[in-house]
Structure 1
């Protein structure tokens, strides 16, 4: 299990090993890549990233296992126009059809949320980085996100809402 914060992983059943990465794409990518470097190349481990997410549409709530994750704060089209390839979208097997947008921006503004909602269902700060580092390290990846807020001013209450999401994530893991 991979989680950005201890608070999001506090209810993970004890039989699971937990890696706490820290918040943001760089912290997540470095932590996952470092952990995967310790696995034998003959193994293809499964990295499961659990955590909270903001809902980009008001009707979204509960738990999601995204099928697609995108890096929303990189200028992929501009970089490609300059003649360089950039990975800014990854498909994930066994997802529920939802799209997760990942960026280093803590989304707490309804205007920013509405722009992101044209491309995705949820927003977080680590999912793409975990999925990318997993793919580069030869691991399978699954993202499991629980909606903690609606990516507007309600996001400012995130610290008070983490435990409710962590409990749901723990229940999901216990059911495996």
Structure 2
């Protein structure tokens, strides 16, 4: 099995084991979708695994997660559907742990935004949904593996001080599962 590991940043991918194809796609949905699609077309992996950090949208949420659903939180799918277009804004992922990840290009540090997102999800990131959609476009299975780095509030700005510990956990998961 050939595995393509996708991470937004080098820091999050610091402990990806040797022998796995690694793509550092950049931050945000556009970069993630474009770069992931290019890599899948070139490498033809049998599995895409997105590893990275995320914010917790609810109190007491911490640790490593394998989301079962990912939602595109800053896309107005309802408004576009009202115009008669069939668009999606969430994807179910087989084999997950039941958690829900909200993906958007907005860096969440505002408690009001966080609380609104918590009505739909327990975790938030900036690339997961885009990576899932890119893999789906090529009919390649995909898994998301996320470690909580902050509480999607002002603590998100401390990311540089916690990312190495998160990256170690992601690397350990890859050793055990990839």
Q: TM-score, normalised by structure 1?
A: 0.96
- Ranges of 4+ aligned residues in structure 1 off by more than 3 Å: none
* Aligned ranges 1:137-152 → 2 under 5 Å: 137-152=138-153
Distance 1:160 1:28, change over 3 A: same
Pairing 1:160–2:164 present: no
Q: Distance in 2 between matches of 1:104 and 1:175?
A: 31
Does the residue aligned with 2:32 lie in a helix, a strand or coil? helix
CA distance in 2 between partners of 1:87 and 1:4 (Å): 23
Which position in structure 2 is the counterpart of 1:59? 60
Q: Which runs of 5+ in 2 are unaligned?
A: none
Matched, 1:85 2:68: no
Cα shift at 1:116: 0.2
Q: Distance in 2 between matches of 1:156 and 1:107?
A: 10
Partners of 1:137 and 1:26 in 2: how far apart? 17
Tell me the equivalent position of 2:37. 33
Instruction: Provide the rounded CA distance (Å) in 2 between the counterparts of 1:39 and 1:10.
Output: 21
Distance 1:161 1:85 in 2: 40
Q: Distance in 2 between matches of 1:55 and 1:15?
A: 31
Following superposition, the deviation at residue 15 of structure 1 comes to 2.2
Is 1:23 the equivalent of 2:24?
no
| Partners of 1:170 and 1:37 in 2: CA distance | 25
Aligned partners of 1:146, 1:17: CA distance in 2, in Å?
Answer: 20
- 2:174 counterpart SS class: helix
**Aligned-partner Cα distance in 1 for 2:88–2:137:** 11
SS of the residue corresponding to residue 172 of structure 1 reads helix
SS in 2 for 1:175: helix
Which residue in 1 is equivalent to 2:46? 45
